[in-house]
Every structure is written in structure tokens, then in C-alpha cells.
């Protein structure tokens, strides 16, 4: 199978980000002065410590959830390292490349085949999609303002889309797994990659089928929902307050939902452009100034970037130069 040249992937990411940033500029075309006036003298450096603690808690929870999905084959320390590499990598690499970095690290640290680790990543993404849909439903239920009501069909479309994708993926693998394997087998034979299919694809699909059970996903799903409704939402409130923007808990759920939808789109590192456009759109839905949305999106992006990229760069640099698997 022919891989897309890196230069082409880079151009695609730049185009997506450019279009998204252009949308942001359009949304706040008359509010640039408001950005400066809101920001002036309102930065609160004292909030960096509580935000840092929340970012650490998110990394710890992500690591523990990943450890559960791998059936405890990673140690607590290795699962935290995997989480740090993933979160930092997603900030630096396009199209959520940090997830693949975590898969490769877990393959080495847990001595598991790549296909099995990828299958657990698939399960994790289904859990995330269902969580995104649930947060969208809660945000719509909590916010009863007239401005949100106007845009409720848009929220419904994105919520249903996230849930439909998750359900479709599960049905295909659980109910039509063998049929899917037969179809893919013919395709890979035609492409001359039959050996790759037998070694990786077959194991991936069958491992997903075996591990996507209620008992296997219940605790990771509960952890995910709890984290999003508590630490993640509150970290958005703190990031907004850091730049002088008041954001209620209910409003933070809508911003969290919108940001997550924006990050679902393949784009430049850490969703530059798409994430910002999504957050600004959420503020428009709330009937608030797009300028506030720009500030909040930038603050969230910058604070999480610093919190996760620095440790991830250190861990990866140490791994690269020493050739020793961290953890």
C-alpha cells in the first residue's frame, strides 16, 4: 500500500489549519480590539499552579485508563510515561500522532504485538466518542439560554454524529468481523500484502472483537466520563480565568464538547486552527464575544502545550539518545 508522502500530508494539514484560522478571523473580524482590552491587565499567573496540578491529574488518569485497557501489562510508571508521550506527541505531531507514539512505546514496554495495542487504541477511541456525545447532550441540557437554543440543531448533529460513528464501528467489528476479514483479505491479496494482512490486520480485528465487552470497557468508560465532567471541565474554567474570561461550569462543558469535535478533524499539530475555530464557535453559540473565544482557545492550547510537550520532549529525547526504553 502506498503511503502518502510527508510533504503532501504537511500541505493537507496546513490547508485545514489555514481554512480554520481564516474562519476564526472572520468570526472576530470586528472584535480584534476586544481581544486586547479583555486581556489587558487580567492575566492571573497565580492560576498556573492549580492548572498544572489538573494537567498532571489528567495525565495520571489517562495513563491508568490505558493500563486498564492493556490489562495491566504496563507498570504504573510505564503507563504514565505512555500517557505523557501521547499527550505531548499530540501537541507536536499532526493527525493525533502522539497516539501512534504511545502504541509503539507500549508495544516495546509491554512486549505486546502492535496489532493488539492498536486494538486497545480502537476501544479507547470508541469510549472517547461516546463520552464526547454524552458531554454534548449534557451541555445542551444544562444551557437553556435563547442563543444556545438557536444553535441546538447544530449541537444535535455533532452529538448524533459522534455517537453514530462509535456505534457503527462497534457493530462492524462485533457483528460483521468475519465478513470484514474476508473482504479485506481479498483486498490485501490484490495489493500483494497477504502476509501483512495475516500478521497484523487479522489479529487487530479479532483482538478488538475479544476485548470490546461490557466488563472490559465499563471501568475505563466510567473513568473517562468522570474525568471529563470534573477535572477536564474545570481545567477549561481555569484556563479561561487565566486570561480574564469568566466561564461557568455549564459553559465549559459546551466549550469542551466543541474543542473535542474540532480535534477529531485531521489537522496540524494539536489541532491548530480547527480547535480554535471550534472554541470560538462555542462562544458564538453561547451568545458571547468571539474575542473571548479566541483568548480562551489560545490559553487552553498554550497551557496544555507547555504542560505536556516539555516532559514528552524530555522522555522522547532520552529514549532516542540512550536507546533505552523509559520506564
Check residue 288 and give its pLDDT. Answer: 86
Least Cα distance to 280 among 22, 14, 11 occurs for 22
Flag whether 259 is in a domain. yes
Backbone angles phi, psi at 158, to 5 degrees: -65, -35
Q: pLDDT by residue (tens digit) across 48-106?
A: 999 999 999 999 999 999 999 999 999 999 999 999 999 999 988 877 889 999 999 99
Find cell 461490557 and name the residue. 214
Give me the number of domains the chain comprises. Answer: 1
Flag whether 70 is in a domain. yes
- Distance of alpha carbon 306 from alpha carbon 269, whole angstroms: 14
Flag whether 58 is in a domain. yes
Contacts of 59 (CB under 8 A, 6+ apart): 80, 83, 84, 87, 308
Flag whether 152 is in a domain. yes
Contacts of 217 (CB under 8 A, 6+ apart): 123, 126, 127
Write the CA distances from 201 to 33, 120, 194, 196, integer angstroms: 53, 14, 10, 7
Query: Is 148 within 8 Å of 140 (Cβ atoms)?
Result: yes
Residues 122, 20, 98, 185: what is their CA dihedral angle, to the nearest 10 degrees? 40
Flag whether 277 is in a domain. yes
Domain with 88 in it:
24-322
Check residue 6 and give its pLDDT. Answer: 47
Instruction: Give the three-class secondary structure for 144.
Output: coil
Query: Is 63 within 8 Å of 312 (Cβ atoms)?
Result: no
Burial label, 146 (beta-carbon count in 10 A; 0-12, 13-18, 19+): exposed
Task: Give Dmax (Cα) for the chain.
Answer: 64
DSSP state of 228: I
- Distance of alpha carbon 177 from alpha carbon 205, whole angstroms: 7
Flag whether 303 is in a domain. yes
Check residue 1 and give its pLDDT. Answer: 41
- Distance of alpha carbon 227 from alpha carbon 131, whole angstroms: 10
Flag whether 6 is in a domain. no
Flag whether 192 is in a domain. yes
Positions of the chain with pLDDT under 50: 1-6, 30, 146
Find cell 479566541 and name the residue. 294
DSSP state of 244: T
For the full predicted model, state whether its pTM sits above 0.75.
yes
Check residue 240 and give its pLDDT. Answer: 94
> DSSP string covering 78-111, please?
HHHHHHHHHHHHHHHSGGGHHHHHHHHHHHHHTT
Query: Is 242 within 8 Å of 43 (Cβ atoms)?
Result: yes
Instruction: Give the three-class secondary structure for 110.
Output: coil
Check residue 29 and give its pLDDT. Answer: 52
CA angle 23, 25, 28 (to 5 degrees): 110
Q: What grid cell was written down for 146?
A: 435563547
Contacts of 165 (CB under 8 A, 6+ apart): 129
- Distance of alpha carbon 298 from alpha carbon 276, whole angstroms: 7
Query: Is 88 within 8 Å of 308 (Cβ atoms)?
Result: yes
Q: What grid cell was written down for 149?
A: 437554543
Q: What grid cell was written down for 121?
A: 487504541
Least Cα distance to 105 among 74, 128, 126 occurs for 74
- Distance of alpha carbon 112 from alpha carbon 192, whole angstroms: 26
Amino acid at each position: 500500500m502506498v503511503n502518502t508522502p510527508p510533504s503532501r500530508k504537511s500541505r493537507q494539514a496546513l490547508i485545514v489549519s489555514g481554512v480554520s484560522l481564516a474562519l476564526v478571523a472572520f468570526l472576530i473580524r470586528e472584535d480584534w480590539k476586544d481581544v486586547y482590552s479583555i486581556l489587558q491587565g487580567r492575566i492571573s499567573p497565580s492560576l498556573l499552579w492549580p492548572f498544572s496540578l489538573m494537567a498532571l491529574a489528567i495525565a495520571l488518569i489517562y495513563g491508568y485508563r490505558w493500563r486498564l485497557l492493556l490489562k495491566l501489562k504496563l507498570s504504573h510508571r510505564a503507563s504514565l510515561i505512555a500517557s505523557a508521550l501521547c499527550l505531548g506527541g499530540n501537541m507536536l505531531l499532526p493527525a493525533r500522532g502522539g497516539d501512534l507514539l504511545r502504541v509503539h512505546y507500549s508495544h516495546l514496554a509491554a512486549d505486546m504485538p502492535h496489532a493488539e495495542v492498536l486494538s486497545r487504541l480502537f476501544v479507547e477511541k470508541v469510549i472517547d466518542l461516546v463520552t464526547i456525545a454524552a458531554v454534548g447532550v449534557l451541555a445542551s441540557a444544562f444551557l437553556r439560554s435563547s442563543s444556545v437554543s438557536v444553535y441546538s440543531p447544530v449541537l444535535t448533529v455533532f452529538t448524533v454524529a459522534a455517537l453514530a460513528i462509535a456505534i457503527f464501528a462497534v457493530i462492524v467489528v462485533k457483528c460483521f468481523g468475519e465478513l470484514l476479514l474476508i473482504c479485506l483479505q481479498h483486498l490485501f491479496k490484490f495489493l500483494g500484502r497477504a502476509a501483512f494482512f495475516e500478521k497484523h490486520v487479522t489479529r487487530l480485528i479479532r483482538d478488538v472483537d475479544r476485548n470490546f465487552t461490557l466488563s472490559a470497557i465499563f471501568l475505563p468508560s466510567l473513568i473517562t466520563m468522570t474525568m471529563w465532567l470534573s477535572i477536564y471541565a474545570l481545567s477549561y474554567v481555569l484556563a479561561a480565568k487565566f486570561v480574564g474570561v469568566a466561564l461557568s461550569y455549564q459553559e465549559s462543558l459546551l466549550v469542551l464538547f466543541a474543542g473535542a469535535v474540532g480535534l477529531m478533524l485531521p489537522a496540524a499539530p494539536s489541532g491548530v486552527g480547527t480547535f480554535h475555530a471550534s472554541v470560538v464557535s462555542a462562544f458564538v453559540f453561547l451568545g458571547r464575544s468571539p474575542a473571548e473565544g479566541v483568548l480562551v482557545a489560545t490559553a487552553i492550547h498554550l497551557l496544555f502545550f507547555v504542560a505536556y510537550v516539555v516532559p514528552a520532549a524530555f522522555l522522547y529525547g532520552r529514549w532516542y539518545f540512550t536507546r533505552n526504553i523509559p520506564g
